[in-house]
A and B are shown apart, each in its own frame.
Chain A
Amino acid sequence: NAGVMQNPRHLVRRRGQEARLRCSPMKGHSHVYWYRQLPEEGLKFMVYLQKENIIDESGMPKERFSAEFPKEGPSILRIQQVVRGDSAAYFCASSPRRGPDSYEQYFGPGTRLTVT
């Protein structure tokens, strides 16, 4: 069973461009979470999604950031008009809907975004 996949692993964007980060959850997992890690900081929650639904976006900046988890395909975190302060590592995690592991989140390897 493949783990959580994220791509790209590294992404460089110039200020003002758009960044698209992709996350494929583990097989059988229907819950996806996005976290952001600034340098020398812990991970900060951004958004929690189920298929075609945003459940909790309380950690998401109000502007320029959006996330989706379509019925088919990976979850996408989109950052429009990136600024230098968006440079960070973005982690995706997934968990199954039910079962003993439902409280545990399995993390992907992260995408390191650098804004120049």
Chain B
Amino acid sequence: AQTVTQSQPEMSVQEAETVTLSCTYDTSESDYYLFWYKQPPSRQMILVIRQEAYKQQNATENRFSVNFQKAAKSFSLKISDSQLGDAAMYFCAYRSAGQIIFGKGTRLHILP
């Protein structure tokens, strides 16, 4: 069975600095998708970034980028130039077919 592990329950970063959130996953499949979702206090699930497993190039979306290491089954999220609005729960997620499997989340605090 596939699993997603986020080993950092909470992290803090100074505003304008860079922070990296860790995620590892376990699967025996070769074709799948990985996501990072943001959940602010409103509880809305917002897709931050996605990565197709067959692509070697790391995905980037403005200040958000990933370090995808397929052999190591690692998928970390880097947030550059952190802003107060980035404060939220961040969930790493995996999907092959059908359901998405989520990690337990990392709560990110932004220090002014």
Contacts and interface: CB of A to CB of B under 8 A. Distances in A.
Interface residues of B, number: 21
Interface in B43-92: 43-45, 47, 50, 52, 91
B50 A109 contact: no
Contacts of B105: 41-42
A59 B102 CA distance: 13
B99 A48 contact: yes
Interface string B18-51: 0000000000000001010100001111010010
A107 interface: yes
Interface string A29-49: 000010100000111110010
A45 B100 contact: yes
B95 interface: yes
Nearest to A31: B98
A45 B99 CA distance: 6
30 contacts: A33-B99, A33-B100, A35-B100, A35-B102, A41-B104, A42-B102, A42-B104, A43-B45, A45-B100, A48-B98, A55-B98, A58-B99, A89-B43, A91-B45, A93-B45, A93-B100, A103-B33, A103-B52, A103-B95, A104-B35, A104-B47, A104-B50, A105-B95, A107-B44, A109-B43, A109-B44, A110-B43, A110-B44, A110-B45, A112-B43
Interface of A: 33, 35, 41-45, 48, 55-56, 58-59, 89, 91, 93, 103-105, 107, 109-110, 112
B99 A107 contact: no
A48 B103 CA distance: 19
Contacts of A33: 98-100
Interface of B: 4, 33, 35, 37, 42-45, 47, 50, 52, 91, 95, 98-105
A60 to B, nearest CB: 11
Given A45-B100, A56-B98, 14 more contacts: A33-B99, A35-B102, A41-B105, A42-B91, A43-B91, A43-B100, A48-B98, A55-B98, A91-B45, A103-B52, A104-B33, A104-B47, A105-B95, A110-B45
